[in-house]
Amino acid sequence: MKERLTEKFRELYGSGGDIRAYFAPGRVNLIGEHTDYNGGHVFPCALTIGTYGIARTREDRKLRFYSLNFDQMGIVETGLDELIPNEVAGWTNYPKGVMWAFEKRGYKLPHGLDILIYGDIPNGSGLSSSASLEVLTGLMLKDIYGIDVSMTEVALIGQYSENNFNGCNCGIMDQFASAMGKKDNAVFLDTETLEYEYAPVALADAHIVITNSKVKHSLVDSAYNDRRRESEEALMELRRVIDIKTLGDLTEHEFEEHKSAIGNEVCRRRAKHAVYENRRTIRAVEALRNNDIELFGRLMNASHISQRDDYEVSCEEIDLLVELAWELPGVIGSRITGGGFGGCTVSIVRKDTVDTFIQTIGKAYREKTGHEAEFYVVDIGDGAHRL
């Protein structure tokens, strides 16, 4: 891939100079959904698909971007002194946002860049193509300009740019997984303290399978931001009766004891999900460490129900995929993964039933929705790195 992209880079921008190549992965979250902006835990892993970037510095302050995923846009030209979000600029708002965020944090970007991007994460699948592009850009700037910034900070800068430049109030999970992922491991992250541990995902006779619904409902970002606001409203009300910093501080029991302080029924359900999902995630990691994969699967199923009924981030197509999976022998657990409102499910499936899983679900889903689902048997890869 590196050679092919470097050749394309030379074709576009000419040869010579110090041309560098980078990769930042997408992620799949195993459990711990919508907990990362509620002070809870998450358990994602980095994928082997993601975003590739080739870059070379320029002598002036110009920026030139080209994406093989958006050939029709051609070379997009802008400059380091023009870092403002702009609808026409499409995908380039993500790397521009990261550059803006670096400068905001006081890291000077002394000169411009020529950049070529290629991503192999399916569009709109919810497997974090934008977070991987942000982390890729952060790593590129860190390496090319020799900026002394940790990869955790690169993740935080990516999140900051997404929140403040691109208008989605996401948590830290996606950028963190892309920056800090580790081959064959999931990252058990406390999103309040940013303390994390790697947990080996050795499933013996099972695979992680992602099913792409190929559906993405509109208004995803605004619905996501609404969920965040509703959770925060619930937190404010709970704080009047119990001394907590985040919803992640609460046990299920404490929540049940104090939930009547939340006046609005919808906000109460949002908070319930955040509290219970956090506890499920902690239990699920413990189950994995004890090789109790059946319990891990049951917690995944409960996570789905909670997102469907209390957090309301699922949709018909995703519920169908999950319910079809639950009916099949050999499926240990299945749930919606990522931000929601379409995108993907994640399932743990016994190796000898993976083919049946793909055929049976693919066929039933096609018959009922007219959509062609896609399936990926997951390899867990490393976090962002130079190639």
Task: Provide the annotated binding site for ATP.
Answer: 67, 124-130
CB nearer ligand GAF, residue 26 or residue 112: 26
34 binds ligand GAF (CB under 6 A): yes
Structure tokens at 354: 């993976």
Residue set of the binding site? 33-36, 67, 124-130, 162, 224
Structure tokens at 44: 């994602």
- CA 177 to CA 154: how far, in whole Å? 11
Residue set of the binding site for Mg(2+)? 130, 162
What angle do helix axes 220-239 and 265-289 make, rounded to 10 degrees?
Answer: 90
339 binds ligand GAF (CB under 6 A): yes
**Least distance to ligand GAF from the beta carbon of 133, Å?**
13
How many Cβ atoms are within 10 Å of 84's Cβ, its own excluded? 11
Q: Catalytic: which of 81, 114, 174, 243? A: 174
171 binds ligand GAF (CB under 6 A): yes
Closest CA to 141 of 130, 154, 128, 152: 154
Choose, by CB under 6 A, the member of 23, 33, 211, 287 that binds ligand GAF. Answer: 33
Number of helices (H), then strands (E), belonging to the chain: the values are: 11, 13
How many Cβ atoms are within 10 Å of 8's Cβ, its own excluded? 15
Closest CA to 384 of 166, 150, 224, 203: 150
Q: How many residues does the chain have?
A: 387
174 binds ligand GAF (CB under 6 A): yes
* Sole window of 32-40, 214-222, 255-263, 302-310 interacting with ligand GAF (rule: CB under 6 A): 32-40
CB nearer ligand GAF, residue 44 or residue 112: 44
* Sole window of 66-74, 169-177, 181-189, 251-259 interacting with ligand GAF (rule: CB under 6 A): 169-177
SS3 of residue 262 by DSSP:
coil
* Sole window of 7-15, 30-38, 240-248, 268-276 interacting with ligand GAF (rule: CB under 6 A): 30-38
**Least distance to ligand GAF from the beta carbon of 387, Å?**
25
Q: What are the φ/ψ torsions at residue 120 (nearest 5 degrees)?
A: -115, 25
CB nearer ligand GAF, residue 6 or residue 163: 163
SS3 of residue 184 by DSSP:
coil
Choose, by CB under 6 A, the member of 119, 138, 338, 383 that binds ligand GAF. Answer: 338
CB nearer ligand GAF, residue 53 or residue 171: 171
- Cβ–Cβ under 8 Å, residues 43 and 285: yes
Closest CA to 113 of 8, 44, 13, 182: 13
DSSP 33: -
Find the binding residues for ligand GAF in span 281-310 (CB under 6 A): none
181 binds ligand GAF (CB under 6 A): no
CB nearer ligand GAF, residue 144 or residue 172: 172
What are the strands of the beta sheet with 374-377, ordered from one edge? Answer: 331-337, 342-350, 206-216, 374-377
Q: What are the φ/ψ torsions at residue 73 (nearest 5 degrees)?
A: -80, -15
Residue 382 among the catalytic residues = no
* Sole window of 34-42, 84-92, 205-213, 235-243 interacting with ligand GAF (rule: CB under 6 A): 34-42
173 binds ligand GAF (CB under 6 A): yes
170 binds ligand GAF (CB under 6 A): yes
**Least distance to ligand GAF from the beta carbon of 152, Å?**
15
Closest CA to 101 of 130, 52, 141, 63: 141
What is the set of active-site residues?
174
- Write out the residues near ligand GAF by the rule CB under 6 A: 29, 33-34, 36-37, 170-171, 173-174, 338-339
